Amino acid sequence: MNTLRPGILIAITLIAGTAAAHAAPASENWENHCTKCHGDDGKGQTKAGKKLQLKDYSDAAVQEKMKDDEMTKTINEGVFDKGKEKMKAFKDELSSDEIKDLVAYIRKLKK
């Protein structure tokens, strides 16, 4: 029994390390999931961003009104207007840590 414990601990460590290694950096998640609408700089001046009238995340006044928990909820659940999806939910694509890092990344877009 004692010889199994180290093996189990090693397996758990390897599995946890593998899962952490698959988490994409926030900048990569931003590029892959957000720039089409929000733009590289977060200003929302893309064709889709203008159509959706997105907020300028580089604007300090806009950022001041945004709360981290609300941003997390939005990324998790998406945005709907009159039953129509304006932004897809990412809860099935991004881990909670990736979403937390994405919120921090958005905060860094502020001028």
The pLDDT of residue 6 is 60
Task: Convert the pLDDT of each residue in 51-92 to its tens digit.
Answer: 999 999 999 999 999 999 999 999 999 999 999 999 999 999
Task: Convert the pLDDT of each residue in 15-55 to its tens digit.
Answer: 655 444 568 899 999 999 999 999 999 999 999 999 999 99
Number of domains the chain is built from: 1
CATH code, domain carrying 48:
1.10.760.10
Helix (H, G, I), strand (E, B) or coil at 1: coil
Burial of residue 35 (number of CB atoms within 10 Å: 0-12, 13-18, 19+): middle
Note whether 57 and 44 are within 8 A (CB).
yes
Which DSSP string corresponds to 62-84?
HHHH--HHHHHHHHHH-EEETTE
Domain membership of residue 76 (yes or no) is: yes
CA 108/CA 111 separation, integer angstroms: 8
Domain membership of residue 7 (yes or no) is: no
Helix (H, G, I), strand (E, B) or coil at 90: coil
Domain membership of residue 78 (yes or no) is: yes
Structural domain for 89, as ranges? 25-107
